[in-house]
Amino acid sequence: MFLPIWDGKMPRPAILKPKPLWTGKQVFSLIIPGNVNMIRTHSTHPDEEDDGPYKWISPGDTKVMVEHGELVMGILCKKTLGTSAGSLLHICFLELGHEVCGRFYGNIQTVINTWLLLEGHSIGIGDTIADPQTYLEIQKAIKKAKEDVIEVIQKAHNMELEPTPGNTLRQTFENQVNRILNDARDKTGGSAKKSLT
């Protein structure tokens, strides 16, 4: 892996035998600039883990902690690494400036590209199998969405569709159809995700 900022020193491997291996957290910690600190949660972090026995450590590794420029725990995602307020890039920008943040962003891409070259793989939806109950839920949601869209189309053809405030009739039609289809997509995607995890 080529990193312009690498000084040639590697952290102690997490696994020593049969051969030295480093974790992704260790590799990522090599590129975190400065003495940055951050505590955030992954986008899939369950809210019920914020209290009780999992307040400080998450069984799903969804609590992200960067301490003195080292990724101590957690899984990085768009929420913890992206451009949103409080993310690692945002904190680097505020504390270290745009030049350091820009180099950090480039180093992230270098690490990810190298990982994809070494470990890259793909999976298609055909490679996954959901249980029959999930298929039924998905089919019901799609059928209901189709019926709802047909109903909106019929209302529009029969001049029964009322424009919503601030929208034309065409915008109202498009908004209603988009809402129905987006809800169906979210519901079916959620069912599939729940079944496959």
pLDDT in tens, 35-84: 999 999 888 888 777 777 777 778 888 889 999 999 999 999 988 988 88
In a shared domain, residues 87 and 166? no
In a shared domain, residues 38 and 112? yes
Is 0.75 topped by the overall pTM?
no
Strand segments (E) across 2-126: 38-41, 63-67, 70-73
Single residue among 92, 119, 146 that ends a domain in this structure: 119
**What pLDDT does residue 197 have?**
67
User: By the 8 A CB rule, do 40 and 50 touch?
Assistant: no
Domain boundaries, position 152: 125-196
Summarize pLDDT for 152-188 with one digit per residue, the tens: 999 999 999 999 999 999 999 999 999 999 999 999 9
